[in-house]
Amino acid sequence: MSDIVEVDARRLLCPMPVIRLQDCINRQPAGASVRITCTDPGTMNDIPAWCRINGHSVISSDQRQQEFIFVVRKNGDGER
């Protein structure tokens, strides 16, 4: 799957960016990628931690001015 699903979590504070990511990931098939854009600096720790706990992969993370952008891949059963 080459399409990336976009999630806009700008202007949302903890825990809402992670909840938005979780809701989106849950609707995607294994192997899907989700790009989430956040303004809460806490997401730099929160999103990678959530991915580790739930077995998903952070493909990239980037900061552009006051925005934090992650690309997360939904892993299937047993895939990390």
- Using DSSP bridges, classify how beta strands 33-38 and 4-9 pair: parallel, antiparallel or unpaired: parallel
CA-CA distance, 5 to 55, in Å (whole number)?
18
The DSSP symbol for 36 reads E
CB 19, CB 7: distance < 8 Å: no
> Catalytic residue among 14, 24, 38, 51, which?
14
Strand partners, 74: none
14 in catalytic set: yes
Active site members: 14
